[in-house]
Amino acid sequence: MEFNVHRGRLERIVPSIIVFLAALLAGCGMQGIPTDSSLFDATIPDRISRTTPVIVRLTETETDEENPVWSPDGTRLAFESSRDGNKEIYAMDVDGRRTRNLTQNAANDDDPIWSPDSRQLLFVSNRDGNKEIYVMDSDGSNPRNLSRNAANDRWPVWSYDGLTVMFISDRSGSWDLFSMNLDGTDQRRLTTTAAVEDNQKWSPDMKHVVFVSNQSGNNEIYLMDGKGSVPRSLTRNSSENTCPNWSPDGKHIAFVSNRTGNWELYVMDADGSHQRQLTRTPEEEDSPRWSPDGKMIAFVSKGEGSAFISVVDLAGRIQKTMTDTVSEKEVPSWSPDGSRISFIGKENGGPWQIFLMHLWGPQQAKREDRLGSIAAFP
């Protein structure tokens, strides 16, 4: 069956019940975990506006390296790689050193996401014959199947207290949201439509869940309480709306929409009010990510044959547009201290690799570069 992956979700192609292969390669991405505010350097926003960022390449392989995810303590990146012949979960220090295969299994493993205390990782594997949700310790030990269901279960996210897992499953005949305890007990269906639901994210206070659904015929952003109350549409727009992301304080939601005829970046209050357009560019905007202090949003702009990362403030002022020799970029993610943005990119048509963008200049990058591959922005 034909399908397209776009903005972290599958384009809804009739019939809507499809095998969900959710490549986060070009997408909205997984839900991050709030970090200790003391990790954030309050001088960074000013440094971003005054300095020239640099890029450091962390991986150098002949295979695609995908979906880098920061540990909440800021010391490691988990990611997906096929360097050993099949897709596995790896982790490395944030300088690219001490890379380790965590899963070491003949099956395909993907969708890594750290626990709030950085001690465990959720991931998805087909090692038991179908896609299921697993958890393992951060060193790869003690893997165990949590979902234990004959259907396909994907896209796990932690609750912020580390006790609950939310995921999507086709066990009901359509892709619905489910939750379960960390030991796999108390599996509950949270949505009950015949539509496709995905892009689910808990609010920082865990009182609400935002997600994307096509139950009205187009992709809209919905809100429900954390236990799965009747959802209501926040966007209420006949265009496509997707990639919702909570601000760190839970007061705002960033998203992308094509309501003007072009994919642009928007922000709205958590109740759906005060929807405002932040970007007005000829490119297509994608993958919004809040800075740890909630004052800026990093996003991808996709033009003809290239993609670059920009940072915008909440007034819509572009603080930095970052172009360089890495012609394609996807899935930006801020470090917990706000000084770096990880992403995947391609150089000269090669495979996807993992890069770090050091936002406050070459001095920090030189301390951490191991490959001698520092590229300053023009």
The pLDDT, as a whole number, for residue 21 is: 33
pLDDT value at 108 more than 90: yes
Contact 367, 43 (CB under 8 A): no
The mean pLDDT value of the chain amounts to 84
Is residue 136 classed as helix, strand or coil in its secondary structure?
strand
Please determine, for residue 326, whether its predicted confidence score (pLDDT) is greater than 70.
Answer: yes
Cα separation of 283 and 337, whole Å?
29
User: Which range, of 129-138, 157-166, 264-273, 319-328, averages the lowest pLDDT?
Assistant: 319-328
- Residue 23 — very low, low, confident or very high, per pLDDT cuts 50/70/90? very low
- Distances 256 to 67, 165, 323 between C-alpha atoms, Å: 20, 25, 21
Report in angstroms the alpha-carbon separations of 255 from 230, 264, 364: 21, 9, 31
Task: Mention every residue, 6+ apart, whose C-beta is less than 8 A from residue 242.
Answer: 7, 8, 9, 28, 199, 212, 219, 221, 255, 256, 257
What is the C-alpha separation between 313 and 311, in angstroms, rounded?
7
21-30, 93-102, 170-179, 336-345: the lowest-pLDDT one: 21-30
Tens-place pLDDT, residues 52-81: 778 889 999 999 999 999 999 999 999 999
For residue 370, is pLDDT > 50?
Answer: no
Domain extents for the chain? 5-376
The pLDDT of residue 270 is 97
Predicted TM-score of the model (pTM): 0.86
Per-residue pLDDT at 119:
97
What is the tens place of the pLDDT at every residue in 185-208?
999 999 999 999 999 999 999 999
Give how far the C-alpha of residue 375 lies from the chain's centroid of Cα atoms, to the nearest Å.
Answer: 25
Give me the CATH code for the 5-376 domain, please: 2.120.10.30
The pLDDT of 16-27, averaged and rounded, is: 37
Contacts of 86 by beta carbon, 8 Å cutoff, 6+ apart = 106, 107, 108
Contact present, 79 and 67 (Cβ < 8 Å): yes
State the pLDDT confidence band at 313, using cuts at 50, 70 and 90.
Answer: confident
Tally of CA atoms within 13 A in the half-sphere of 159 that contains its CB: 18
Place 49 in a pLDDT band, splitting at 50, 70 and 90: low
